[in-house]
Structure 1
Amino acid sequence: MWEILCQCLPISPRIWGLFLVFTAISQTITVPVLAEDSETQLINSHTSTQDDVAEQVISVSQLSDVQPTDWAFQALQSLVERYGCIAGYPNATYGGNRTLTRYEFAAGVNTCWEKINQLLTTTTTDLVKKEDLATLQKLQENFAAELATLRGRLDALEPRVDTVQKQQFSTTTKLNGEAIFAVSGFATGQDSTGSDIPNVTTFGDRVRLNLDTSFTGKDLLRTRLQALNLNYFSSRAGTRSRLPEGTLAFNGEIGDDPAENNEVGIDTLFYRFPLDQKTAVTLFANEGEVDDFVDTVNPFLDGDDGASGALSRFGSRNSVYYFVPQGAGIGVKHQFSDKLELSLGYLSNTPADPSSKNGIFNGSYGAIAQLTFKPSDRLNIGFTYVNAYDNLNDDLAIPGTGSKKANLGLVTDSPVSTNAYGLEASFQVNSRFYVNAWAGYATTRVLGVGDADIWNYALGLAFPDLGKRGNLAGIIVGMEPKVTSADVAIANVLSPRRVEAQNRNSAADRDTSLHIEAFYSYAISDNITITPGLIWLTAPNHDERNTDAVLGVIRSTFTF
């Protein structure tokens, strides 16, 4: 009987396994509920202070998830009253349907044995039956090996805990990091001037160290140090006229400044805290981004700024999000329910500039509002609105995506205001297949000149755990931001450089280019991932007179 019971325990629900034991010992002895799931957490629970673990249950009514209608209620009630052998989780639950491991069962038997020995030494009544003692002793003998293993692990763990406490970096701060090494290059293609893109292979890196500090256990102060030299394909030096469609998601810079050559600086600084149980507020002092407080509804494809997921900025999320610049400001996320969430935010990339027409409210900014609706566990839908203003003139209007004309903040010398609308959706077909899609529309006004309409859309397929756990395959097909119509006056203010000469009599883009992207992330380990992939632009700059561009990438991501 005992051999059969021992073989079943690792795969049986804990309440059923315990019930068999209860029956075997006449419903008088139970295995106590442990407050952790894994064997490691089990060991940790034995080394915790008394404040970290649950107190002994003295009444079954203390367990919020145990009801009088439960089939094991009477057995639990009897065990609590007779032996006091049950302990609950710190949140006052019993977890009766959770799977029980042999190590947990062994530790429970040992605890009950100690409890009964205590009762025997402190009482003169015949509270403990001899047959119960015999049964419990038999259980202890059957699980002697597991008990010995636990004791050995505890003995080995104690000096390690002492060492960690003496050498820990901080009691409130954790350090984690990430390093990206990337090989990339255009195999063929022409840029927005109609010139051949140099067939140059590059090798670059981006290294990040996050110092995550919590003062209450519920808040987060993140200070990120970053060093990088990945901005080649997004600059004029890289493709002569800067081809925004070729910008990779992990590129550090999108402007024309020289590469940073791995100079270390503070990349992100923000503080997030709960306002109440349903509302979280994030204050950004530097380089805040939309995805820090908004669900971009593109699971698996929108990775950590290109460290995982899609290779391109376009493939990572709806391009309307990029109208909100990286900068300082505030983000708020409020959950009305499990099915409905509201995100609000305001970011400015000129917050510290005291000069005229700058500062956090008078300079360039982006404000966003999004409702995220989750009608089921498989379907997520986002409705996004962005209001943005750009008076820098040397910045991209839609950084890293779309045609030159879709980036009116770059090709004109006038301030640009934008109202953008996005619709995003994600559907989980099964645990290994997600379908993501989005569409974005922006009405952009070059102040004092005229208006333009800009559209983008995409369909993304994500295949998590393809081949083995931790792998990811992705396919993205869509149209990067394209000017579909515009006032003729805008064409008259476009720069006379050859970049616009191909279609100078119109402010609208000439043709339609497709962005086709495919990648496969192979997890070498939990901390190392290699991702080869291709990006194919069928008509660069939305002009079929330009030769198709093919960009190859091999991204290696290390996390620690």
Structure 2
Amino acid sequence: MLKVLWNYGLVIPAFVNGFFILTSDASATEMLNVSDQNEPLAQVTSVSELYDVQPTDWAFQALQSLVERYGVIAGYPDGTFKGNRALTRYEFAAGLNAALSRLNELIATNTADLVRQEDLATLQKLQAEFASELVALRGKLDALEARTAQVEGNQFSTTTKLVGDATFVVADTFGDRVNNTPADDTKDNTNAVFAYRTRLSFQTSFTGRDQLTTILTQNTIPNLTSTTGTSMTRFTFDAEGREGIYLSQLVYRFPVGKQGTIWIGPRALQPAIFTPTLNASVGGLNGAASRFATFNPTIYRPGFDGAGAAFAYKFNNQLQLNAGYITFDQQANRPDEGNGFFNGNNAALAQLTISPNRQLDIGLTYVHKYFGNGSFNLTGGTGSTFARNPFGQNATKTDNFGLQFNWRASTRFHLGGWFGYTLANQLSNGDNDATIINAALTFGFPDLFKEGNLGGFIIGVPPKVTSNDYRPTPTAARREDPDTSLHLEAFYTFRVNDNIRITPSCYLITKPEHNDANDPIWVGTLRTTFTF
């Protein structure tokens, strides 16, 4: 027993000294080189077999000892060592296991020249030379252990990560207020505003692969509909009429096997959470400022905050299916007539995302929506009044079809866009039909002028009623949009550092409410986003 301990005492320092410059053994190599995982890795017997190791390298002697004396390095299939590459935890564990296994083998065979006398003398010399450093290192480790224990004892949570963002917005609009009656006053009475939105997100994981997201929000950014007369001017980050601190999202996501994912959420389970919108180039926290330009509104904006469930299944890198059912969360928890999980306002979505190559993604989407009572918002708070509510306060169902695409032409230019087509049907007090369309092209410029910055331009047609059988009264005009508005938007996000970004943006609405009688409206914003 004493002899075994003595052997361990002599050999372990040599292995540890060499191991920290070890890139990988055969097991670690297999974990990194998936494409080569079925190829046998021949044992390297001489350091000269490693083509990228030179006698002038600082670790040459240590590698030579590990290869030729102990035989614990296999190298990569191409005969390289890759010594300048970072070492992962998995590779460290695999390499350490291989080294200790070889150590046990050598001790078991009682190799006579396992450790030479000069090795022992070298170790003793190093021990004496670095005695003060070893004492200092022990003191630092003791202090680190004490601090770690204090942090663990007072940490916020063992399972929850807290992240957040704060957005400051300065904005104003320019142009006469929308009003289809020329005799009425249409003077622009919108004043410049300085507002904010703050969000705290608690991201909790119970298994390491799942996530429960709980977001608390306070938002003072105004909805511009009332002051401009049209929802076409709305921001994507406005308060939507909420005041104070409120729970803006409560969603749980967990994997099913290696290719499936399920979402369950009683609060704000939106299609954009569980479905690829294919508009990441100009959407997101630091992208377009307008509500319309974020993504296809008739597809990914149900018109209410959802409660429900969804799933995704990735067949391979070229094909993915996403589907979900959500209902208005303020009706889902009410058992009375016209409410509940299945009888309230609801939306059911299915999308097939096709990626023929790494540069191109195409989304084919279908959404069925039902509005029985309460808020009627067929186009997610965008587009004209007729598009959002083509049949007044009568129960409505819609079949929405969407085609989205994103082409990453290069690392500096992305082209995207969408087309949305909606068939609406009146379900109560009549049987009328309406057709609604919307479309956009997006141009994204990652790393424009400087790495980490983003430029973008969007041109589109907000949701518009192209045909409608419904008349509020027998002699009234149909609720159709007579003309066509254009949405033109440009923005530039400047990255100050990893946590601060500044985004000036401007968008123009021509013929607001799809009516040539209305003058154009400009909206200008300057926002600063802090993430932490």
- What TM-score comes out, normalization by structure 1 length? 0.74
Deviation of 1:526 after TM superposition, in Å, equals 0.9
What's the CA shift string for 1:11-50, capped at 9, x where partnerless?
A: xxxxxxxxxxxxxxxxxx7765469xxxxxxxxxxxxxxx
- Is 2:218 the partner of 1:227? yes
| Match of residue 440 from structure 1 | 420
One-letter code of the match for 2:359?
A: R
Provide the C-alpha distance between the structure 1 equivalents of 2:318 and 2:146, rounded to a whole number of angstroms.
Answer: 47
Deviation of 1:327 after TM superposition, in Å, equals 1.4
One-letter code of the match for 1:164?
A: V
What's the CA shift string for 1:87-110, capped at 9, x where partnerless?
A: 99xxxxx99668526999xx99xx
| Match of residue 172 from structure 2 | 185
Provide the C-alpha distance between the structure 1 equivalents of 2:122 and 2:217, rounded to a whole number of angstroms.
Answer: 61
Provide the C-alpha distance between the structure 2 equivalents of 1:178 and 1:218, rounded to a whole number of angstroms.
Answer: 24
What's the CA shift string for 1:189-220, capped at 9, x where partnerless?
A: 43254623423111221111111111110111
Provide the C-alpha distance between the structure 1 equivalents of 2:176 and 2:81, rounded to a whole number of angstroms.
Answer: 62
SS at match of 1:459: strand
Provide the C-alpha distance between the structure 2 equivalents of 1:451 and 1:103, rounded to a whole number of angstroms.
Answer: 60
| Match of residue 456 from structure 2 | 474
Unpaired segments of 5 or more residues in structure 1? 1-28, 36-56, 89-93, 141-146, 254-258, 497-503
Specify which of 387, 395, 399 is matched with residue 415 of structure 1. 395
Provide the C-alpha distance between the structure 2 equivalents of 1:129 and 1:436, rounded to a whole number of angstroms.
Answer: 68
Label 1:466 to 1:83 Cα distance change in 2 as closer, same or farther (>3 A).
same
Specify which of 489, 495, 517 is matched with residue 523 of structure 1. 495
CA RMSD in angstroms comes to: 4.2
Deviation of 1:231 after TM superposition, in Å, equals 3.3
| Match of residue 371 from structure 2 | 390
SS at match of 1:296: coil
Deviation of 1:521 after TM superposition, in Å, equals 0.9
What's the CA shift string for 1:346-365, capped at 9, x where partnerless?
A: 11112112221111100100
Deviation of 1:319 after TM superposition, in Å, equals 1.8
1:385–1:419 CA contact under 8 A, matched in 2: yes
| Match of residue 327 from structure 2 | 348
- Is 2:405 the partner of 1:425? yes
1:31–1:86 CA contact under 8 A, matched in 2: no
1:103–1:150 CA contact under 8 A, matched in 2: no
Deviation of 1:382 after TM superposition, in Å, equals 0.2
SS at match of 1:266: strand
| Match of residue 199 from structure 2 | 208
What's the CA shift string for 1:398-417, capped at 9, x where partnerless?
A: 122111111116x6020111
SS at match of 2:375: coil
1:190–1:548 CA contact under 8 A, matched in 2: no
SS at match of 1:166: helix
2:41–2:74 CA contact under 8 A, matched in 1: no
Label 1:63 to 1:206 Cα distance change in 2 as closer, same or farther (>3 A).
same
One-letter code of the match for 2:290?
A: S
Unpaired segments of 5 or more residues in structure 2? 1-17, 50-64, 128-133
| Match of residue 313 from structure 1 | 291
One-letter code of the match for 1:251?
A: D
One-letter code of the match for 1:100?
A: R
| Match of residue 446 from structure 2 | 464
Label 1:512 to 1:171 Cα distance change in 2 as closer, same or farther (>3 A).
same
One-letter code of the match for 2:292?
A: F
Label 1:294 to 1:524 Cα distance change in 2 as closer, same or farther (>3 A).
same
Provide the C-alpha distance between the structure 1 equivalents of 2:81 and 2:195, rounded to a whole number of angstroms.
Answer: 52
| Match of residue 274 from structure 2 | 293
| Match of residue 483 from structure 1 | 465
One-letter code of the match for 1:249?
A: T
2:22–2:83 CA contact under 8 A, matched in 1: no
Aligned pairs for 1:117-136 within 5 A: 125-127=112-114
Specify which of 300, 313, 317 is matched with residue 338 of structure 1. 317
Deviation of 1:156 after TM superposition, in Å, equals 7.5
Label 1:366 to 1:135 Cα distance change in 2 as closer, same or farther (>3 A).
farther
One-letter code of the match for 1:481?
A: P
1:189–1:550 CA contact under 8 A, matched in 2: no
1:483–1:509 CA contact under 8 A, matched in 2: yes
Provide the C-alpha distance between the structure 1 equivalents of 2:276 and 2:384, rounded to a whole number of angstroms.
Answer: 26
Provide the C-alpha distance between the structure 2 equivalents of 1:539 and 1:153, rounded to a whole number of angstroms.
Answer: 69
Specify which of 330, 336, 339 is matched with residue 358 of structure 1. 339
| Match of residue 256 from structure 2 | 275
Label 1:60 to 1:206 Cα distance change in 2 as closer, same or farther (>3 A).
closer
| Match of residue 57 from structure 2 | none
Provide the C-alpha distance between the structure 2 equivalents of 1:79 and 1:124, rounded to a whole number of angstroms.
Answer: 16
1:433–1:464 CA contact under 8 A, matched in 2: yes
Deviation of 1:85 after TM superposition, in Å, equals 4.9
Provide the C-alpha distance between the structure 2 equivalents of 1:369 and 1:485, rounded to a whole number of angstroms.
Answer: 26
Provide the C-alpha distance between the structure 2 equivalents of 1:388 and 1:220, rounded to a whole number of angstroms.
Answer: 28
Deviation of 1:247 after TM superposition, in Å, equals 1.1
SS at match of 1:204: strand
Provide the C-alpha distance between the structure 2 equivalents of 1:386 and 1:515, rounded to a whole number of angstroms.
Answer: 24
Deviation of 1:493 after TM superposition, in Å, equals 5.1
Provide the C-alpha distance between the structure 1 equivalents of 2:180 and 2:84, rounded to a whole number of angstroms.
Answer: 64
Aligned pairs for 1:136-215 within 5 A: 158-193=145-180, 195-215=186-206
One-letter code of the match for 1:166?
A: G
Provide the C-alpha distance between the structure 1 equivalents of 2:201 and 2:176, rounded to a whole number of angstroms.
Answer: 38
Structure ID, larger Rg? 2
2:216–2:249 CA contact under 8 A, matched in 1: yes
Q: For structure 1, which segment, 504-513 or 147-156, has the greater mean C-alpha deviation from structure 2 after superposition?
A: 147-156
Deviation of 1:164 after TM superposition, in Å, equals 2.4
Provide the C-alpha distance between the structure 2 equivalents of 1:265 and 1:277, rounded to a whole number of angstroms.
Answer: 35
What's the CA shift string for 1:362-406, capped at 9, x where partnerless?
A: 010011000001111100000000000112353422122111111
Label 1:353 to 1:378 Cα distance change in 2 as closer, same or farther (>3 A).
same
% identical aligned pairs: 36
Provide the C-alpha distance between the structure 1 equivalents of 2:272 and 2:462, rounded to a whole number of angstroms.
Answer: 19
2:376–2:393 CA contact under 8 A, matched in 1: no
One-letter code of the match for 2:257?
A: D
Provide the C-alpha distance between the structure 2 equivalents of 1:299 and 1:149, rounded to a whole number of angstroms.
Answer: 50
| Match of residue 451 from structure 1 | 433
- What TM-score comes out, normalization by structure 2 length? 0.78
1:470–1:523 CA contact under 8 A, matched in 2: yes
- Is 2:302 the partner of 1:323? yes
Aligned length: 474
Specify which of 542, 548, 558 is matched with residue 514 of structure 2. 542
2:386–2:480 CA contact under 8 A, matched in 1: yes
One-letter code of the match for 2:277?
A: T
Provide the C-alpha distance between the structure 2 equivalents of 1:117 and 1:397, rounded to a whole number of angstroms.
Answer: 70
Provide the C-alpha distance between the structure 2 equivalents of 1:87 and 1:95, rounded to a whole number of angstroms.
Answer: 10
1:379–1:427 CA contact under 8 A, matched in 2: yes
| Match of residue 514 from structure 1 | 486
SS at match of 1:398: coil
Label 1:376 to 1:130 Cα distance change in 2 as closer, same or farther (>3 A).
farther
